[in-house]
Amino acid sequence: MFLPLMAQLRVGREKGRPRTRPDAVRGDKAYSSRAIRGHLRSRGIKAVIPEPDDQKGHRKRRGSRGGRPVALDAADYRNRNVIERRYCHVKQWRGLATRYDKHSMIYRSAVVLNGVIAWTCVLSGSPNYSVR
């Protein structure tokens, strides 16, 4: 689902069209695949994704044909916890955590609603936005 998500990505600006290309993408080891890395490289997006141990082993076993090791900006990767904390907030909504919805449009609407509520609570200065 990463590639369709990147196709729909829009980052708003003060003026002009929204950006469709972020500066970098942070992800955990699950997002380390040849397809994802190739897509990011072709669009000029920096991948801050560590390489899993099994992929390191495959690359080393191939020798010089295995390619260069993956570059990882460790300082930038530490900032991934911001994303993980946001997922924890999103998963406070039981329907989002368990994905009860039958249709993807309904699920996406719930995710957007959760984001709007979080955004308005941040603007109002409220430390907790959980809705019960």
**Phi then psi dihedrals of residue 19, to 5 deg:** -75, 145
pLDDT tens digits for range 79-106: 888 778 877 878 888 878 787 778 888 8
Question: What's the half-sphere exposure (Cβ side, CA atoms, 13 Å) at 51?
Answer: 17
pLDDT confidence tier of residue 126, bands split at 50, 70 and 90: low
The Cα 63–Cα 15 span in angstroms is: 49
pLDDT tens digits for range 8-56: 888 888 889 988 888 888 888 888 888 898 999 999 999 999 988 888 8
| Structure-derived torsion over alpha carbons of residues 105, 106, 107, 109, reported in degrees to the nearest 10 | 90
The Cα 47–Cα 73 span in angstroms is: 9
The Cα 122–Cα 101 span in angstroms is: 27
Distance of alpha carbon 12 from the chain centroid: 17
Q: Which residue has the tokens 């924890």?
A: 88
Residue 5: per-residue pLDDT: 86
| 131 has pLDDT over 60 | no
pTM (two decimals): 0.64
The Cα 112–Cα 81 span in angstroms is: 21
Percent of the chain past pLDDT 90, that is, above it, reads 8
